[in-house]
Amino acid sequence: FVPEIVDFIQRIIDNGYAYELDGSVYFDIESFDGKDGNFYAKLEPMLKGNTRLLAEGEGALGAKPSNTRSTADFALWKKSKPGEPRWDSPWGEGRPGWHIECSVMASEILGSNIDLHTGGIDLTFPHHDNEIAQSEACLGCQQWINYFMHAGHFHVSGMKMSKSLKNFTTIKDALKKNSARQIRMLFLLSKWDARLDYFEGTMEGPLALEKTFDNFFSNTNALLRDFRLRQQDSDGKRHFLKDELELQKALLDTKAQVHSALLDSFDTPKAMRALQEIVTRANTYLQRGRASIDPQIVESVALYVTKIFRAFGLVNDGVGSRIGWGSAGLSADGASQGPAADRESILLPVASVLSDFRDAVREIALSGGDKKALLSLCDQVRDRDLPDLGIMIGDHGDGRALIKFVDPEEVRRERAARQAEEEAKKAKKEAEIRAAEEKRLAKLAAGKLSPKDMFRTPEMLEL
């Protein structure tokens, strides 16, 4: 793009908004600002005289000569020093200025009017303001960019993440600790143009929220699967009553809230809160028990949440009717872990047999016989054997279990975390007991008195 850059700069000179000085070319702020409808520093007009930011804006190009027309003038083309990169130009060998290549490449491809321009919040002034000025000076337009979107910075323990501070975390390293979906959820919980602080414990919120939605998706899928598997003839009664109508209205309100939030500068935290609230209401409705709910209204909620999550990039496939994450979830590298439907179709018959077997054994145990042994066996199947295969069986008040398919690796991680937490609590309790015993013994030792001193008076001690 160097030939295009040279031509772009020459057009700015020809339009009267730049000048050559000792082999370099500078943008003439005073000839541009306020002339022919032009305005410099459209994004941050209060900063147009900030010499510190202007100097930082020149970056590695270094200090300007003292004889520029204005201290605010910035380099479009810089004469190269010995050993620096260089290209031929009408002004001698040199290199592009700090801002010019962005204007040239964008305008060359997108034309004289661009709808959307993004960048970090720190680039607003002078970089983006200089881009606007030099582009409008060259192209002769009043508005080069319609909308700027400046993203907030990522901070680590209160400080901006940067290589110079050596406090940066690469995406590759982050994916060793959390899945792509979990990291994306962290970003969704913060406004795109706001600062995001990352510190120990930052991921607790996204992980807990993911678990909430994951449980809801699993319960809904299990409920629908069971409903279709054991569906009976209609009893001739109407089941879509007050509670169902209230949940349906809440869903319509949620859709309006999410739509409004996304129209308001992509307010994803507000949208996520609305989704969390409707899932909470749906979970409350599910607590009524399998026999007292309408699965279709719950399915409607789950389908809508999935639809929005798919738009947010949290769902791992493009299947429109699927509920939930689309598969076992996004792996650390974002790759598919296999279609969930295929896995379920293979495991469902086995899981149903095991579930029925467990229900029957449990009923026998409760009615007589060696209850403890049978119940222990049932618990082992429920709590360890089947979860390790990706199958969860949940007890319900109607005496029948509900089958859910889960990620076995996630189950094992949660089990390990619980065990570690229990061991930590046990170790803490043992340490407290030891400390209390040591304190008691120390107190006893401090209170001991030699027999020969036991009956001595103060007067005797003075002797």
User: What digits encode the pLDDT tens for the residues 253-302?
Assistant: 999 999 999 999 999 999 999 999 999 999 999 988 877 888 889 999 99
Which pTM does this prediction carry? 0.70
Mean pLDDT value across residues 370-391: 78
Q: What is the DSSP letter of 339?
A: B
What Cα–Cα distance (Å) separates residue 328 from each residue in 272, 323, 334, 338, 392? Answer: 22, 12, 11, 7, 14
Q: What angle do CA 202, 204, 210 make, to 5 degrees?
A: 120
Give the per-residue pLDDT at 336: 41
Q: What is the percent of the chain with per-residue pLDDT over 90, rounded to a whole number?
A: 49
Report the amino acid identity of residue 259. H
Measure the CA–CA gap between 138 and 14, rounded to whole angstroms.
Answer: 9
Q: What is the percent of the chain with per-residue pLDDT over 70, rounded to a whole number?
A: 86
Give the per-residue pLDDT at 63: 63
Q: What average pLDDT does the structure give for the chain?
A: 85
Residue of 376, 384, 282, 263 whose CA lies nearest to 323: 282
